[in-house]
Chains A and B, each alone.
Chain A
Amino acid sequence: MLFSITSAHSMALLFRRLKVATCSLAAILLIGWQPFAFAEKSRLTITGSSTVAPLTLEIAKLYEKTHAGTRIDVQTGGSSRGINDARNGLADIGMVSRALKPTEKDLNGFTIALDGIGMIVHNSNPVTALTDAQIKDIYLGKITNWQSVGGPDLAITVVNKAEGRSTLELFLKHFGVRNSQIKPSVVIGDNQQGIKTVSGVKGAIGYVSIGTAEYEEKRGTPIKRLTMQGHEASAANVANGQYPLSRTLNLVTKGAPSKQAQHFITFAQSDAVKHLIEKQFFVAP
Chain B
Amino acid sequence: MKKRHVVQLGLAAGLVGLAGSALAAPFTCPKKGGDLVFAGEAKVNSLDQYSSQTISTRNVVSNIFEPLMTRDETNQPILDLAESMTEAPDGLSYTFKLRQGIKFHNGKDMTSADVKASFDRYAKIGIERAFLVNVEKWEAPDAFTFIIRMKKKQPTFIEDLSSFSQPVVIIPAEQKDAEFLRLEPIGTGPFQVVEYVADSHVKLKRYEGYKPNTKFEQRTGFGGYKVACVDTVTYRIVTEPGARVAGIETGELSAVEDVPTKAQAQLKKNKNVVLVPLENWWVHIMLPNTKTAPTNNLAFRRAVQAALDMDEIMDASTDGAYKLNIGFQYPGRATYTDAGKETYNLKNKELAKKYLKEAGYNNEPLVLLTNKDYTSMYNAALVVSEQLKAVGINAKLDVMDWPTSVNRMIKEKDSWNFFYTGYGTQPALGPLATMKFFAGGNATPSPPDAELQAAYDDMITLPDPAKRQEAFARMQKRILEQVYAVPFGSLTKVQAVRANVKGYKPFRIPRFSNVWIE
Q: Do A and B come from one complex?
A: no
B contact residues vs A (CB 8 Å cutoff): none
A contact residues vs B (CB 8 Å cutoff): none
